[in-house]
Structures are given as structure tokens and as C-alpha cells.
């Protein structure tokens, strides 16, 4: 009512003045006055001398109301504090900034309030050195609020705030910022600041407030990549979200999801997310695990459990602060693009980086439209995809080498429930089949072909020598398991993902296909080309075997496999055992050949009678139908090798099937 009366009085005074000027025929003054009024109606702030104390409670600009309403979009301006902890009576610096750097505003009003009831204004502001700040007395207290002293454009304002000596708890700085006459944001919050006893805070000295132009200070003021999202400064003594408090309310008041699967119940997630919904307010919390050296932690919202065409929220430490980015992922080829995503669809509420642990709290708009596709959090159901990685690209996050896990089913974020991960059955079967094929059947098949051609001589299966029958059966098993495993992983991923494991695995599969095709066209035993086939078949088989084992080594590092690092030592043990057995077989083969060649004639063939020559030929013919020397050693060693090989295969398959195996011992 008071505002309406003032406006009416002002209009009546101006009308009287205009009439008086008209009477005096000073028309040129009337025109000048009209122009001045026209400009004033579209100025940045209704009152150039700052907000009046009558708006201490509402923090609305004097002209707000009626047709001029506050913006309901995410503010491009942010309120940043120089620390997340301050002692009683100590000074804290507050920065009102816009993103991108240089985004100007005209008017503002700011005050610090108790985060808990009764939400009273606390603390005092100090006069600014550059005279851009005017102090206000609200709720009968001195200098507990601040506003602009002039309505000129300003890219940033820095204010010193002193905490009260009789208050302990959390405070939040709330601000109203006007970019133009009819465009302003009300109630922009800062990250919460903890006011503690002065003797507690003295253990970790607060940063000294300094000029933004000081190149030696510890503060950054602009993000180099995010065009709209205000980044959060991370103070050196910031306190990360504690292990226990993050999981408080999971499944009761908020949806929590992380990896490895089931980690929320044990509070042991490598990366974890939480979603809290209050009406149209959607708050996302993300945190990386301790000791992971994560370069980012991200949460994607997807229609399916695959990467691609997803809206992602990324928290990235850069230059001592946590920056927030929104991206849209593409499946073919995979990439996370920020350029086409409205960065003002989300804003950072709180963040910290302590001991390498990334934490951020983000508020997203209920509706985000990217490339014509709508992500409607109110009505849609989405898979949650949590991911983190140790590297960054130029304008996006890097590969999620630390880990990634999608939720098992799409959920409405407002419905609180226990969120579980998607099934890893196809991944587990892929790994188990590949281990059975290349550690098990291939290794045994190569042993038969190389060392048992002169063993079980005269014994056949299906019309074939024993060594060949076993070799063919084992290699057909390898081929079948490899094909099935390759199909399973394609069904799981639905796209190519290139890294060391996939590249070596693909070469192995190609060689696996070539081997039986080449065997179908092998020349006859007496053909001149047979030696070339033998060498080619030997080279292709051994190369495929070696690459397959290398690919299995690479798989241990894959986040999706969730294999323990000490599995490498089991694989090393297998390789050593396999090479040692080959060495023993080779030595026994050399000894066998030498013994066969020791039937040295003590006389020339020409000195032998016809009867003696015939007897020798019959003896050599009979010898070819007998096992080569040391056959018992070879058979015994084969038995030992088979038993130990089966143990290796069983242990490795159990590690794959029960991954992550560490959960069984928690």
C-alpha cells in the first residue's frame, strides 16, 4: 500500500510539473523530461541508490509486482564464499559474480540468514573499498544486509562479512540480483557456511580476503568452459560430505545408487549418487570414492541401460574448484557433448574437494530440452547411470575407467525406492566362456598337437589318431565358446568400445575364425605346400593363444569386469606353469628323438647281408607302430597338467562369475 501511494504521489508531481512547463511553453524541457522518464522505466534497477530497508523481508526490487515478476529459471549469477567454515567473529569474503566472466548486473541485495529456524539475519557486512556497496539495517540490526550504491553495470562485487560472536551453526547467503529492469532473480543461495568456535577454526586458518585482481591469491573467479553454470570454489579447509551422512535417508527420503552394485547397503561405493525430490525441486548429489583419483564423477539419465542419447550431470575439479557441466551423450561414435545442452538447466548448490574426494550437490530444472528431445523429470522414468574416470578431454569428460553402472530398471525419480544395478549376466558369461576357451581348451589342444603325435600309436577315435581327435575336439570347443562369448558381449554393449582389451580380443576372434577355414584347405601329407600350411597353422594358433591371454590380462583393469587386481598374479602363475610344462615336454621330445637315432650302424649298409637288411627294415616298420620313448613320462605329465589347468580355469571363472569377489569377504 505504501508503495502504491508513493508511486501515485510521484506520478501526480510529475504531471503537475509537466502541466506547469506546458503553460510556460517550455516544450523542449517537457520533451527532455519525457525522455528521461522513458529511460528510467527500463533502467537496471528502479532505485539507483540501492534497495530500501522496506524490502528486507521480501528482497524484491522496489518495482517488482504486477506485470514484473522474478525469473523462475536458473540464475546465471552465483554467490561464492571464500571458505565453507568460519570462526565466531571472523571475516569471510562474499563474491557476487556472473557466468560467463564479464556478465554484468546492475542491482543486488544480499544478507546472511540462519539455515535453521527461526531463519534470522545474522552477522554484519563491512563497507567496500571501492564504494560499490551500501549497507542496510534490517530487523533493527546494524549493517546486516547490503545492496548496491549505484545502478551502473558491474561484473562482480566483493563484500566482507563478519560472523556473529554469539552464533554457532550454518548460515546461507541469499541474494537478489537484477540484470535489467524486468529481469531479476530472487533468493539466489550460496553454499552453506559453518560458523564454529573461534578456537576450532584457528586450527585451520581461513584465507585472507584479498582483491580479485591479486594474482597471488588462491581464488578463481571464472570457468573457462561453462558458459552459464556458476562454479563453486573449494576452500583448502573445506569439509567433504561425510561417509555416513551421504547415505542418510537412502531408500527413505531419497534415491541412492552407486557402483559396485549393492554398495549403498554397505556404504562402500566407489562412486555414488543420490536424488532428492521436493515438489518441482530436483536435487542431485554426486560423490567419488576415496583413493580413486577421480577426475570427474557423473550421473546420466537414460531411457535404456546403455550409454548414448543421455542427459548427464558432470562435476569436475578444475583449478581448485568444482565446475558443473551438463552434456548430451552420443552412441556412435561415443562422445559427451556440452555445446548443445543449455548449461543453465542446472546449478551448483554445494561442492567440495577434500583428499581427492569429489562431492557436489546440483539442482536441475524439471524439464530440459536437448536437440528436440525432452527430459521430463516429473513424468518420465529413467535409468540412472553413475560413472567416474581418471581423465578429461578438451571439452568433455574422459572414459569412465574407474567405473560405470546403470540401474537395473528405469525409475521415476520422485518415487523413493531401493535402486539396484543392471544385470551383469552377459558380461560374466562372456568372461567365463573366454577363460574356458583360451586358458582351458586351447592350451590343452596345443599340447596334444605338439607332443603326442607319437603317443597312443595305433589307437584311434572315430577313425582318427588319438592326438588329432582330441586336438580337433578341443579346438572346435574353443571356436564355439569364442563365437558365443563374442555375440554375448555385442548384445550387452550394442556398440564398439575400443580399448586394449577389445582390440586384442577382436584380433584373437579373427584368427580363431581363420584357423578352421585354413584347416579345411590343408594340402595332403606329401604335397609340396604342406610345410607352408604347417608353419602358417602353427603361427596362427600360437599367435591367437598369446593374444587371447594378453586380452584376459587387459580385462582385469576394466571397470565393468569388477575383477580384483591380484587376479593378475593368478594369470602370471598360469603362464609360468604353462611355459614350464612346454619346456619339460620339449626336453623329453629331444631325448626321445636322440634315443631313436642312437641305433647307429656299426657297419655300412653295404656290408649287411640281404637277410640282415630285410630284418632291419621290418624292425623300423614295427618301431613306427610303437609309442616313441618316454611315452609314460608324457602321459603322466599330461595328467598333472590337465588337473592343474582345470584348477586354474575353475578359479578364474569363479572370480569372473562372483565379481566383485571382495564383497564375499566383507
Cβ-contact 571, 528 below 8 angstroms:
no
Q: Which of 93-107, 428-442, 462-476 has the lowest mean pLDDT?
A: 93-107
Query: Which of 121-135, 210-224, 346-360, 461-475 is the least confident region?
Result: 210-224
Q: CA-CA-CA-CA torsion for 580, 584, 587, 589, nearest 10 degrees?
A: -130
**Which pLDDT value is given to residue 35?**
37
**Which residue has cell 598360469?**
574
pLDDT at 385: 93
84 touches 154 (CB < 8 A) = no
Placement of cell 598374479 in the chain: 569
**Could you say which DSSP state residue 422 is in?**
P
What does the block give as the cell for 481?
Answer: 565358446
For residue 450 the three cell numbers come to 605338439
* Distance (Å, whole) CA 77 – CA 102: 11
Tell which phi-psi region holds residue 267, choosing left (phi > 0), alpha (psi between -120 and 50) or beta.
left
What is the average pLDDT across 603-620?
52
Query: From the DSSP assignment, how many helices (H) and strands (E) are in the chain?
Result: 13, 27
Task: Tell me whether strands 145-148 and 232-233 are parallel, antiparallel or unpaired.
Answer: unpaired
DSSP string, 301-330: EESSSSSSS-EEEEEEEETTEEEEEEEEEE
Q: Which of 177-181, 213-217, 494-498 has the lowest mean pLDDT?
A: 213-217
Assign 20 a pLDDT band (cuts: 50, 70, 90): very low
Q: What would the mean pLDDT of 152-166 be, rounded to a whole number?
A: 90
CB half-sphere exposure, 274, CA atoms < 13 A: 22
Highest mean pLDDT among 119-128, 371-380, 570-579, 591-600: 570-579
Q: Which residue has the cell 547397503?
A: 265
Q: Enumerate the β-bridge partners of residue 183.
A: 180
Q: What confidence category does residue 612 fall into, taking pLDDT thresholds of 50, 70 and 90?
A: low
Q: Decide: 475 and 519 in contact? Cβ < 8 Å.
A: no
CA atoms within 13 A on the CB side of 211: 5
What stretch of H or E contains 508?
A: helix 500-520
Q: Give yes or no for residue 489 having a pLDDT over 70.
A: yes
**What's residue 577's pLDDT?**
97
- How sure is the predictor about 161, in pLDDT bands with cuts at 50, 70 and 90? very high
Domains of the chain listed by start with CATH number:
53-199 (2.60.40.4060), 246-422 (2.60.40.1210), 425-597+624-664 (1.20.120)
pLDDT at 614: 54
Report whether pLDDT(43) > 60: no
Predicted pLDDT at 627: 80
The torsion angles phi and psi of 355, rounded to 5 degrees, stand at 55, 35
Contacting residues for 306 by C-beta, under 8 A, at least 6 apart = 331, 406, 493, 494, 495
Distance from C-alpha of 190 to C-alpha of 207, rounded to nearest angstrom: 18
- What pLDDT score was predicted for residue 618? 52
- Weakest mean pLDDT among 234-238, 354-358, 538-542, 593-597: 234-238
Residues in the chain: 666
| pLDDT value, residue 558 | 85
145-148 vs 183-189, strand pairing mode: unpaired
pLDDT for residue 572: 97
Highest mean pLDDT, choosing among 162-171, 275-284, 474-483: 474-483
Please say whether the dihedral angle defined by the alpha carbons of residues 215, 216, 221 and 224, taken in this order, is positive or negative: positive
**In contact, 123 and 162? CB cutoff 8 Å:** yes
Q: How far apart are CA 121 and CA 141, in angstroms?
A: 9
| Average pLDDT score over residue span 617-640 | 76
Q: Rounded to whole angstroms, how far apart are CA atoms 468 and 462?
A: 10
Query: Which has more pLDDT, 267 or 228?
Result: 267
pLDDT band at 527 (very low <50, low <70, confident <90, very high): confident
The pLDDT value given to residue 212: 34
Band of residue 331 on the pLDDT scale cut at 50, 70, 90: low
How much is the pLDDT for 165? 84
Residue 58 pLDDT level (bands cut at 50, 70, 90): confident
| Integer Cα distance of 94 and 82 in angstroms | 7
The pLDDT value given to residue 657: 92
pLDDT confidence of residue 584: 95
Q: Where are the beta strands (DSSP E) in 26-126?
A: 77-81, 85-87, 91-98, 107-114, 124-125
Flag the least confident range among 195-199, 529-533, 540-544, 568-572. 195-199
Q: How confident is the model at residue 579 (pLDDT cuts 50, 70, 90)?
A: very high
Average pLDDT of the segment spanning 209-228: 31
Mean pLDDT over the full length of the chain: 80
Amino acid at each position: 500500500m505504501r508503495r502504491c501511494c508513493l508511486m501515485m504521489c510521484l506520478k501526480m508531481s510529475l504531471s503537475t510539473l509537466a502541466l506547469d512547463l506546458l503553460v510556460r511553453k517550455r516544450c523542449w524541457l517537457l520533451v527532455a523530461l519525457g525522455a528521461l522518464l522513458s529511460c528510467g522505466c527500463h533502467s537496471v534497477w528502479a532505485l539507483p541508490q540501492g534497495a530500501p530497508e522496506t524490502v528486507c523481508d521480501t528482497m524484491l526490487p522496489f518495482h517488482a509486482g504486477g506485470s514484473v515478476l522474478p525469473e523462475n529459471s536458473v540464475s546465471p549469477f552465483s554467490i561464492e564464499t571464500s571458505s565453507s567454515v568460519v570462526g565466531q567473529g571472523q571475516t569471510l569474503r562474499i563474491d557476487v559474480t556472473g557466468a560467463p566472466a564479464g556478465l554484468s548486473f546492475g542491482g543486488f541485495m544480499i544478507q546472511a540468514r540462519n539455515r535453521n529456524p527461526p531463519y534470522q539475519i545474522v552477522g554484519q557486512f563491512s563497507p567496500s573499498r571501492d564504494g560499490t556497496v551500501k549497507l542496510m539495517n534490517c530487523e533493527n540490526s546494524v549493517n546486516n544486509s547490503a545492496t548496491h550504491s549505484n545502478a551502473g553495470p558491474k561484473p562482480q562485487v566483493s563484500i566482507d562479512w563478519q560472523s556473529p560472536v554469539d552464533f554457532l551453526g550454518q548460515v546461507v547467503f541469499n541474494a537478489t540480483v537484477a540484470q535489467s529492469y524486468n529481469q531479476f532473480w530472487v533468493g539466489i543461495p550460496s553454499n552453506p557456511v559453518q560458523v564454529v568456535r573461534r578456537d576450532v577454526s584457528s586450527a585451520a586458518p581461513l584465507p585472507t580476503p584479498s582483491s580479485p585482481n591479486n594474482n597471488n591469491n588462491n581464488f578463481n573467479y571464472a570457468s573457462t568452459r561453462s558458459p552459464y553454470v556458476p562454479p563453486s570454489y573449494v576452500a583448502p579447509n573445506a569439509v567433504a560430505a561425510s561417509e555416513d551422512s551421504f547415505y542418510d535417508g537412502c531408500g527413505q527420503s531419497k534415491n541412492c545408487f552407486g557402483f559396485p552394485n549393492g554398495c549403498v547397503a554397505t556404504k562402500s561405493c566407489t562412486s555414488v549418487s543420490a536424488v532428492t525430490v521436493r515438489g518441482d525441486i530436483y536435487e542431485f548429489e554426486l560423490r567419488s570414492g576415496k583413493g580413486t583419483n577421480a577426475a570427474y564423477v557423473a550421473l546420466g539419465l537414460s531411457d535404456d541401460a546403455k550409454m548414448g542419447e543421455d542427459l548427464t550431470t558432470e562435476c569436475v575439479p578444475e583449478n581448485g574448484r568444482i565446475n558443473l557441466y551438463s552434456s548430451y551423450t552420443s552412441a556412435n561414435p561415443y562422445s559427451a557433448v556440452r555445446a548443445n545442452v543449455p548449461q543453465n538447466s542446472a546449478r551448483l548448490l554445494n561442492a567440495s574437494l577434500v583428499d581427492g574426494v569429489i562431492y557436489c550437490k546440483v539442482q536441475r530444472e524439471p524439464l530440459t530440452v536437448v536437440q528436440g528431445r525432452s527430459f521430463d523429470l516429473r513424468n518420465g522414468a529413467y535409468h540412472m547411470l553413475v560413472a567416474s574416470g581418471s581423465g578429461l578431454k578438451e571439452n568433455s569428460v574422459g572414459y569412465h575407467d574407474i567405473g560405470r553402472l546403470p540401474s537395473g530398471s528405469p525409475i521415476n525419480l520422485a518415487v523413493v525406492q531401493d535402486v539396484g544395478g543392471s544385470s551383469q549376466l552377459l558380461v560374466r558369461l562372456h568372461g567365463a566362456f573366454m577363460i574356458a576357451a583360451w586358458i582351458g581348451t586351447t592350451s590343452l589342444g596345443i599340447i596334444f598337437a605338439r607332443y603326442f603325435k607319437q603317443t597312443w600309436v595305433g589307437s584311434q577315435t572315430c577313425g582318427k589318431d588319438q592326438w588329432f581327435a582330441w586336438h580337433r575336439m578341443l579346438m572346435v570347443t574353443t571356436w564355439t565358446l569364442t563365437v558365443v562369448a563374442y555375440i554375448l558381449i555385442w548384445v550387452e554393449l550394442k556398440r564398439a568400445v575400443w580399448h586394449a582389451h577389445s582390440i586384442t580380443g577382436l584380433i584373437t576372434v579373427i584368427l580363431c575364425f581363420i584357423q578352421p577355414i585354413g584347416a579345411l584347405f590343408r594340402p595332403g601329407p606329401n604335397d609340396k605346400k604342406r610345410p607352408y600350411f604347417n608353419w602358417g597353422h602353427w603361427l596362427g594358433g600360437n599367435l591367437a593363444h598369446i593374444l587371447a591371454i594378453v586380452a584376459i590380462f587387459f580385462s582385469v583393469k576394466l571397470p565393468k569386469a569388477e575383477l580384483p587386481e591380484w587376479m593378475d598374479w593368478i594369470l602370471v602363475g598360469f603362464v609360468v606353469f604353462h611355459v614350464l610344462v612346454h619346456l619339460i615336454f620339449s626336453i623329453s621330445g629331444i631325448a626321445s628323438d636322440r634315443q631313436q637315432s642312437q641305433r647307429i650302424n656299426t657297419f655300412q649298409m653295404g656290408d649287411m647281408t640281404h637277410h640282415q637288411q630285410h630284418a632291419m627294415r621290418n624292425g623300423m616298420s614295427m618301431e613306427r607302430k610303437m609309442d616313441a620313448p618316454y611315452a609314460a613320462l608324457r602321459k603322466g605329465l599330461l595328467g598333472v597338467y590337465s588337473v592343474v589347468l582345470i584348477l586354474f580355469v575353475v578359479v578364474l571363472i569363479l572370480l569372473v562369475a562372483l565379481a566383485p569377489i571382495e564383497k564375499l569377504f566383507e
